[in-house]
Amino acid sequence: MGAPRHVPPDPSARLWRNPEPKRGYDVVIVGAGGHGLATAYYLARNHGIRDIAVLERGWLAGGNMARNTMIIRSNYLLDESAALYNHALNLWEQLPAELDHDFLLSQRGVLNLAHTEQEVRDARRRSFANELNGVDTEWVTPEEIAEICPILNTSDEVRYPVLGATLQRRAGIAKHDHVAWALARKSDEMGVDFIQGCEVTGFTTDGDRVTGVQTDLGPIAAGRVGLAAAGRTSLLTDTLGIRLPLQSHPLQALASELLEPVHPCVVMSNHVHVYCSQAHKGELVLGAGIDPYNGYSRRGSIRTIENQLAAAVELFPIFARAHMIRTWAGTVDVTPDASPIIGPTPYENLFVNCGWGTGGFKATPGVGWVFAHTIATGEPHPINAPYGMERFTTGALIDEHGAAAVAH
Amino acid sequence: MLLIRCPWCGNREETEFRYGGQAHVHHPQDTSTLDDQAWAEYLFIRDNPCGELAERWVHTAGCRRWFNAIRDTATNRMRAELPSARKPVTR
């Protein structure tokens, strides 16, 4: 599993048009991040709906899509989660050919480390659950880990020795910006309008029916509206009086200077809470959990970075002298059960896709597929049927907290 | 790193505190009469403004007491640190 050293293809001179918005569309998607792009793509490809606008207050894929750690995996414990993320992983594998754009999907394997006896039991349980759900998984011992990832400190001379790990070999990373550009180019070819610099500020309604969106470029009518606005979702639903169980938090990641390829896979540790991989170009890319307090500043706290770097250096002593050159934060929306909300709302014609917390990137094609189905048919796809907002009233939570292989 | 003012101890670094979420969320009265919707509201739903939010903090590494503050979630500017009170802080 040596780290490949290829570079992304040069983007075409023009990937998408920049049209003026029309007065109305069959479908308006709010948010041109990965999820909004994938939703538009599958609306056009799977459902033949071409009269679509994707509205973006900043620039295309400039929000959390530009601020993630690129990791793709599907080794979730619960059936509902495994179905959603594995659907995404299956799509990831066919997308480069389908989109005719190499976004450097690298299935280099993801190790989820266990550092305590309880974590060993939890990880093995998750591994068995993955097998039952047809998700590839292996339990590996410290000796095997040392062969897979020689730079990882597997000695017992540390505070939290590595007692084993789950390994998903199909998991890996993909170059996130190129994923977005590939989806945008193909959607544009099918007629989707991407309107950048267009902030949605509210909705137009007729009784309990949404008929369009209000934007700073004027009102735009819509047959159906899909929200894929991540951290700012509840600011929009608040304007309709829909109270969603969402809290927005800063989520930070950081990247080092360019280094020789030394880190062959992705390593995640829930217990000491850091995850690390080496990007195609050579940077170490690290992430951890959300900052504890609510925030829209897109600027996290140094304490979170201190904690994750301390954990990273204990796991990877070789990185002690690496220089970190960039940190950044996105605004993620977190739900009480650490699972997304994908489905209809009390308003006819309005659909939400939100609450992804720290884990939205890996789901990009999978959620695009099921959210497009939900918007096109008005009904959830079987995969996202359990993810409705009503679960917080019925109590049928999808409680992936702690079971998700990394804390949210 | 936030610099947070504890009403008893003064300005301290954020690492000394833990966050307690939205302030003034009280356990409902007459619980036997509540429907599922009302329970869901109490258990799961909190304000999530881009702007000022009344919230709770506890000075875990110091006096270990709770207090309320109003913080702007867009700028992190904090004001009106008061001992934890039942009445909303509006000063």
Per-residue pLDDT at B86: 59
For chain A, which residues score pLDDT lower than 50? 1-3
Q: Would strands A220-227 and A24-30 be described as parallel, antiparallel, or unpaired?
A: parallel
Which of B1, B36, B55 is opposite residue A301, by nearest beta carbon?
B1
B15: left (phi over 0), alpha (psi -120 to 50) or beta: alpha
Output the pTM of the full model. 0.95
Which of B1, B40, B50 is opposite residue A392, by nearest beta carbon?
B40
Which of A292, A293, A297 is opposite residue B75, by nearest beta carbon?
A297
Residue A42: strand, helix, or coil? helix
**Chain A contact for B2 (CB, 8 A cutoff):** yes
Per-residue pLDDT at B38: 95
Which of A230, A197, A248, A251 minimizes the C-alpha distance to A352? Answer: A230
Nearest residue of A to residue B21 by CA position?
A293
- Burial class of residue A200, CB neighbours in 10 A (0-12, 13-18, 19+): buried
- Determine the residue among A234, A252, A393, A394 to mutate to test chain B binding: the one whose Cβ has the most chain B Cβ atoms within 10 Å: A393
Per-residue pLDDT at A1: 47
Residue B85: strand, helix, or coil? coil
- Burial class of residue A158, CB neighbours in 10 A (0-12, 13-18, 19+): middle
Question: Is B44 close to A336, i.e. CB distance below 8 A?
Answer: yes
Nearest residue of A to residue B15 by CA position?
A303
Q: Which residues pair with A40 in a beta bridge?
A: none
DSSP A184: H
CA distance A140 to A43: 41
Nearest residue of A to residue B56 by CA position?
A293
Per-residue pLDDT at B83: 83
Chain B residues closer than 8 Å to A393 by CB: 36-37, 39-40
pLDDT in tens, chain B (91 residues): 899 999 999 999 999 999 999 999 999 999 999 999 999 999 999 999 999 999 999 999 999 999 999 999 999 999 988 887 656 656 5
**Distance in Å, alpha carbon of B11 to nearest chain A alpha carbon:** 17
Residue found by looking up tokens 């992705």 in the block:
A266
* Beta sheet of B18-22, edge-to-edge order: B18-22, B52-58, B66-72, B78-83
DSSP B61: T
Question: Is A235 close to B43, i.e. CB distance below 8 A?
Answer: no
pLDDT tens for each residue of B48-66: 999 999 999 999 999 999 9
Pairs of CB atoms within 8 A across A/B: 62
Per-residue pLDDT at A279: 95
Q: Which of residues 59-88 of B touch A (CB under 8 A)?
A: 71, 73-76
Per-residue pLDDT at A208: 96
Chain A residues closer than 8 Å to B44 by CB: 245, 336, 392
